[in-house]
Chain A
Amino acid sequence: MKMECVFGFVGNGFAVVAADTSAVHSILVHKSNEDKIMVLDSHKLIAASGESGDRVQFTEYIQKNVALYQFRNGIPLTTAAAANFTRGELATALRKNPYFVNILLAGYDKETGPSLYYIDYIATLHKVDKGAFGYGSYFSLSMMDRHYHSGMTVEEAIDLVDKCIMEIRSRLVVAPPNFVIKIVDKDGARQYAWRESVKDAAVASA
């Protein structure tokens, strides 16, 4: 659970999150292009790290409930509301059948602009400007502490994301090779780029 790298921060009118793309089981890397950042709705991203079964199940559950709210009420949830709903689900399950999933929830609301919420697996919720999970956080948080300032442009932000990825790749012994970067702003949530240093081997044709 600590081997998965997720980090993100808020810029000028946008929020950016990055996650590694390795699906690992013990010493085996199942796949190296697993997308761990789910598009929750048009203007929200949920970057999740943790036990892979829980990660997919829990984030899909949140995604479907967010969609249901929009169908029932005709308007989408705000980022804060979605974050609090997510925390509520984690908190309810915590002392029965906990989900081992850490989440960074990034969103853009017309009224309040971009926001980022840190939600760890024991349902601690906090609104942050920058956040990270896993072993990678020891490096990405320090890089962000050094280089982050409020109101960064997209170019500056991607530069900082790349700095963090470089640091993780060079200093973490179990560094994941590939990352995906997604961004959310007034135009919506979308994939920005991949950072690949290892590509899956091509499958031989029959």
Chain B
Amino acid sequence: MSIFEYNGSALVSMVGKNCFAIASDRRLGVQLQTIATDFQRISKIHDRVFLGLSGLATDAQTLYQRLVFRHKLYQLREERDMKPETFANLVSALLYEKRELAKDFVVAGTASESLYGACESMFKEDMEPEELFETVSQALLSSVDRDCLSGWGGHVYVVTPTEVKERILKGRMD
């Protein structure tokens, strides 16, 4: 039993034309048992930075709290928000990993293999926000339906220069 498969999760993010989308499933499980169907995996750090954390839920919560703490301290000192690239550097430093700046899409979670396939086939460059939302949603739902540890709906954020649209997806509830 891997700690990455203990709670179950699915995350996908895509880049569009002057916008991006980030989506997650909503299941919180303990191995085979489902505990909740409204678990939030994506958090807003600030207007231009959204963070999705997959894997062990307790570690995702701890990491999120530590990152928010570091960002708030940064805001107090610099009197401005962190740039996305800077925040990515902070996350990768905390994880001891080299980050990769993806130009198309990023996936994570127990459904990641399905997500890779779905994104690879559905992704197009420079999609407008509405088409991006459709693509991300279809990729997420079709992938989590093949993974017993993730699903129970979806949570999609589409971010453009002017607004953030948050939408809940109704998927297979099983």
Stretch among B29-37, B91-99, B108-116, B160-168 lining the A interface: B29-37
Establish whether residues B33 and A122, one from each chain, have CB atoms under 8 Å apart when the complex forms. Answer: no
Chain B contact residues, majority secondary structure: mixed
Whether, in the assembled complex, A143 has its beta carbon less than 8 Å from a beta carbon of chain B, the answer is: no
Interface residues on B, range: 10 to 19
Whether, in the assembled complex, A120 has its beta carbon less than 8 Å from a beta carbon of chain B, the answer is: yes
Chain B residues with Cβ below 8 Å from A126 are 28, 35-36, 39, 57
Chain B residues with Cβ below 8 Å from A122 are 56, 58
Tell me, rounded to whole Å, the shortest Cβ–Cβ distance linking A54 to chain B: 17
Establish whether residues A94 and B58, one from each chain, have CB atoms under 8 Å apart when the complex forms. Answer: yes
Establish whether residues A87 and B61, one from each chain, have CB atoms under 8 Å apart when the complex forms. Answer: yes
Chain A residues with Cβ below 8 Å from B39 are 126
Whether, in the assembled complex, B2 has its beta carbon less than 8 Å from a beta carbon of chain A, the answer is: no
Establish whether residues A91 and B36, one from each chain, have CB atoms under 8 Å apart when the complex forms. Answer: no
Establish whether residues B62 and A124, one from each chain, have CB atoms under 8 Å apart when the complex forms. Answer: no
Instruction: Determine which of A91, A123, A124, A138 lies in contact with B28 in the assembled complex, contact meaning CB atoms within 8 Å.
Output: A124
Tell me, rounded to whole Å, the shortest Cβ–Cβ distance linking A7 to chain B: 12
Tell me, rounded to whole Å, the shortest Cβ–Cβ distance linking B34 to chain A: 9
Given A91-B62, A122-B58, A128 and B33 touching (CB < 8 A)?
Answer: no
Q: 4 nearest interchain CB pairs?
A: A123-B58, A124-B57, A124-B58, A122-B58
